[in-house]
Amino acid sequence: MSTPETLFETSASVPARTRLAARVTVAAALALARLSPAHIRRVLVVVRGRAGPSRYDQAQGARQAVVAVSMICAGQGCLARSIATALLCRLGGHWPVWRVGARTSPFGAHAWVEAEGRPVEEGDNITGFRPLMTVTPRPDARVSRIR
Amino acid sequence: MNLELPGHVSVPHTDDGGVLLDESTGEYWEINQSGAAVLRMLLEGASEQEAAQALIADLRPGEISPEGAVADIRELLAQLRAAELVVTS
């Protein structure tokens, strides 16, 4: 879990415009996180639309912005954090792989995003989680490149 | 009898068991290694007898009788049905 110190440090490095967009997506994510998993998935598939995959640095930037503006997303609110990160990516015209998964012994459930085949800003513990629900980028899209 | 997962249930295959997620309610259900192996076989169309034989083969000799294995599998199925995690088509 993040400490207040790292939270403020991250907050200072996120541009004002990105912070504003992140606040909007966090508000939407907190509302969405109250719905059933099936309902969340349906909404995310519609929101994703035709968006192609996020690069790792894009998804990482989105996650850092979300964590910078929301105590819940900085803490234990992995579902809201993952949704907000994906929504913020979508505002940038791309989509990460959004996942909900679980592990056994001990039981745990988690939500996270992946880009370029890697979980974004997750610790080593993530390897124990097996995906149960996934919303991928548009299947036929290619990774966009920096010009 | 064909056993199926309803559309709102997803199961990952884990090394040490499994978790079923009911996507309509958000409830998670844990299933142990033997239960997950049995469920996988039944979903693939195996009979209760075939699943029982596989269950016995996975355990130490004499740990469970053929009758006990079948009874365990029926109990598992009853629990899964009661929780609406499987349907029979």
What pLDDT does residue A107 have? 85
Q: Do B59 and B44 touch, CB atoms closer than 8 A?
A: no
Least confident of A143-147, B68-72, B82-86: A143-147
Kindly state whether A106 is in contact with chain B, defined as any CB-CB distance less than 8 angstroms: no
Closest partner residue to A36 (CB to CB) among B10, B16, B26 is: B26
pLDDT at A5: 43
Beta strands in chain B (DSSP E): 3-4, 9-10, 18-22, 27-31, 87-88
From the CA of B16, how many Å to the nearest CA of chain A?
Answer: 7
Chain A residue nearest residue B13, CA to CA: A130
Sign of CA dihedral A7, A12, A13, A19: positive
Tell me the C-alpha to C-alpha distance, in Å, between residue A11 and each of A29, A78, A121, A143, A144: 19, 18, 16, 28, 27
Average pLDDT, chain B: 86
**Alpha-carbon separation of residue B28 from A56, A112, A141, B31, B49 (angstroms):** 30, 17, 32, 10, 28
- A45 shares contact with chain B (CB less than 8 Å): no
CA A34/CA A61 separation, integer angstroms: 25
Q: Count Cα neighbours of A125 within 13 Å in the Cβ-side half-sphere.
A: 15
For B8, the closest of A38, A101, A102 (CB atoms) is: A38
N-to-C CA span, chain B: 7
Whether B12 has a pLDDT exceeding 70, the answer reads no
- B9 vs chain A: nearest CA distance in angstroms? 9
**Contact assignment for A109 to B28 by CB distance below 8 Å:** yes
Note whether A131 contacts B: Cβ–Cβ < 8 A: yes
* Residue for token pair 């954090």: A81
The ipTM is: 0.70
Which residue positions in chain A have pLDDT lower than 50? 1-9, 147
Q: Encode pLDDT of B27-60 as tens digits.
A: 999 888 888 888 888 988 999 999 999 889 888 8
